[in-house]
Structure 1
Amino acid sequence: MIDESEFRRVIGHFATGVSVVTSCRGDGAACGLTVSAVSALSLDPTLVLVCVSHGSETHGWIREAGYYAVNVLEEGKGETLARRFAGGGGEEKFRGTAWRPERTGAPVLDESLAWLDCRVSAALEGGDHTIFVGEVLAADAREGTPLLYYRGGYGRFES
């Protein structure tokens, strides 16, 4: 098996988009975390997957709520959101961040470049993460440039 640090070094060469996955806690408060493991899975039905660490405080709330939103971040202000949602702090993550509940009740961040509102249709265990497969119930996007993550840092497309 490959060493964990070597795996991180090698997989870090794969540029990914940066998203904040949001849901709600049992008391209705918003929760969320920064993720880079998001993928379209199927067009019929429309499915998207997110990979969430078992150690994340948001993990159990997604499982309990049965829904989540994927908020694709934009370059610029998106890096601040990515860093804030990557840490702990629960409700502090949402302080000063405008959002609205979407169809499922999942929080959609106003500053998102794109968003997908999903109902969990499957939860698959994958090592120290759960792969939440969600049926997309609503989605939207606007023009802009996505925030990227590459080799441990944030970046953008050069045009």
Structure 2
Amino acid sequence: MAVNDQEFKNALKLWASGVTVVTSKTEQHGIKGMTATSFSSVSLEPPQILVCINRSTDTGEVMLEGKHFAVNILTAEQQQVSNQFAGGSSQEERFANVAWHEGALGSPVLDEALASLECKVVQQVEAGTHWVVIGQVEEVCCRSGEPLLYFDSAYRELATR
């Protein structure tokens, strides 16, 4: 017997995760971005990651059309950036007050992210309401700082020792 939606959500909110902003761009549709916590490494050789994107999002549509995207891992100071990209605002508003530049593959790279991984799409798998998108990492930029975390429906930070 399958669990109901609320039971599933209650269990998943107890999984602590980092917070990312996934971005992409095509000439036809412009720049797109969204907050995502469903992100993971897949392979070291070749270097691959995955993100899970709702099939109804315009960001996912552009990622799959353009065959490239960037995953920007947010810092503890970027809660507002996470909220801005989480929905409820236009794509123009999402990028309005965030410093970014076009990466080597053409996707927006957030200048103040803890790390940015530029990827080309190598596989997509339909899974329920989402696409599981596997990307081969072509460019990486790492900065110093602490990650923004999400746990039990709230932002969290690492405890200082």
TM-score if structure 2 supplies the norm length?
0.95
Please give the root-mean-square deviation of Cα atoms over the aligned residues, in Å.
Answer: 1.0
Partners of 2:143 and 2:72 in 1: CA distance: 12
Where in structure 1 do 4 or more consecutive aligned residues deviate above 6 Å? none
Q: State how 1:8-87 maps to structure 2 within 5 Å.
A: 8-27=9-28, 29-76=30-77, 78-87=78-87
Q: Where does structure 1 lack aligned partners over 5 or more consecutive residues? A: none
Q: State how 1:143-158 maps to structure 2 within 5 Å.
A: 143-158=144-159
Q: Does 1:119 align with 2:120?
A: yes
Match of 2:65, SS state, is helix
Identity over the aligned pairs, expressed in percent? 35
Partners of 2:153 and 2:58 in 1: CA distance: 22
Provide Cα deviations, 1:109-138, integer angstroms capped at 9, x if missing partner: 011010100000001111110011000000
Provide Cα deviations, 1:19-73, integer angstroms capped at 9, x if missing partner: 0000014436211000001001001111010000012121111110100000000
* Alpha-carbon shift at residue 12 of structure 1 (Å): 0.6
Compared with structure 1, are the counterparts of its residues 14 and 5 closer, same or farther at alpha carbon in structure 2 (3 Å cutoff)?
Answer: same
Q: Is the 8 A contact 1:49 1:132 kept in 2?
A: yes
Partners of 1:48 and 1:93 in 2: CA distance: 24
Provide Cα deviations, 1:49-102, integer angstroms capped at 9, x if missing partner: 0000012121111110100000000012x1100001001412211002111111
Q: Is the 8 A contact 2:29 2:62 kept in 1?
A: no
Partners of 1:51 and 1:3 in 2: CA distance: 21
Q: Is the 8 A contact 1:29 1:91 kept in 2?
A: no
Match of 2:79, SS state, is helix
Match of 2:5 in 1: 4
Give aligned pairs, total. 158
Q: Does 1:110 align with 2:111?
A: yes
The amino acid across from 1:86 in the alignment is A
Q: Where does structure 2 lack aligned partners over 5 or more consecutive residues? A: none
TM-score if structure 1 supplies the norm length?
0.96
